[in-house]
Amino acid sequence: MSTVPTSLPVQPAQRPRWSQIDTVLLDMDGTLLDLQFDNYFWLQLVPERFAQRHALTLEAARQALTPRFAARQGTLDWYCTDFWSRDLGLDIAALKHEVRERVEYLPGAEGFLAEMRRRRLRTALLTNAHRDALRVKDVQSGLTRYFDVVVSSHDYGAPKESAEFWRRAQAEVGFDPSRSLFVDDSLAVLRAARAHGIAQVYAITHPDSGGGRREVTEFPAVPRVADLLD
């Protein structure tokens, strides 16, 4: 995916129509929490430990992992700590706990969540993260205290990229799509939300603080979730 060194500031007309929002639906990784943690975990730490476990060079480990990861991308297995623990012979949940200090909010994200509480808007965390990973990140960040409802796609057996997830989430959370805001960094997930009828859908263009900003034209987009505030 292409990156650009800078991103235009969000214009007032691009900001959400807050008077038309009752429920704020938010992704976790890359929207509220820095995706730098996950990129480090899957692109560096897991290959290192896989190499050690199977007596491989780091380069050989990466070559072995790349097609395995690609084959599962966009499926529920892609996000499942249990699946990858079995498939790779590593305790993925334990590894996440080991490096939990790397979990951090994206700049401005915690302030945005506090503002949602101040405005008394209903908030729901909708994540593809397995509950094991969610627990590790919540202990480190205290993220879930800002939410009325927390949903993992593993609860439904369907990832956020699927129509089934959105049907189940609407039934559980009880949101009105026409009066909801959804924010995510995944274009595939945003497309599924749009197809479900979520009225206001926004993309995050700077999900990893250590990486460049992405160019997104398919959806209204902001570098940080805090940029959505009036």
User: Per residue in 33-81, pLDDT tens?
Assistant: 999 999 999 999 999 999 999 999 999 999 999 999 999 988 889 889 9
pLDDT in tens, 86-129: 999 999 999 999 999 999 999 999 999 999 999 999 999 999 99
- Structure-block tokens of residue 161: 């990229």
pLDDT of residue 12: 42
pLDDT in tens, 182-216: 999 999 999 999 999 999 999 999 999 998 899 99
Backbone torsions φ then ψ of 163, nearest 5 degrees? -65, -35
Q: H or E segment at 175?
A: none
Cα 148 to chain centroid, rounded:
18
CB-count exposure of residue 191 (10 Å: 0-12, 13-18, 19+): middle
Q: Which of 10, 28, 50, 54 is nearest to 128 (CA)?
A: 28
pLDDT band per the 50, 70, 90 thresholds, residue 167: very high
Cβ atoms 34, 209 nearer than 8 A = yes
Q: Quick check: 3 pLDDT over 80? A: no
CATH of region 3-34+105-228: 3.40.50.1000
Residue 182: C-alpha distances to residues 1, 84, 153, 160, 175 (Å): 22, 28, 15, 12, 11
Q: Quick check: 7 pLDDT over 90? A: no
What are the residue ranges of CATH 3.40.50.1000 in the chain? 3-34+105-228
pLDDT band per the 50, 70, 90 thresholds, residue 230: confident
Q: H or E segment at 182?
A: strand 180-184
pLDDT of residue 5: 32
Q: Which of 61, 64, 84, 60 is nearest to 72 (CA)?
A: 84
Helix 58-72 and helix 81-88, axial crossing angle in degrees, nearest 10: 140
Q: How many Å apart are CA 53 and CA 153, to the nearest integer? A: 30
User: DSSP state, 125?
Assistant: E
pLDDT of residue 73: 86
Residue 49: C-alpha distances to residues 130, 132, 171 (Å): 20, 19, 40
Q: Which of 163, 113, 153, 156 is nearest to 133 (CA)?
A: 153
Q: Which amino acid is at 73?
A: Q
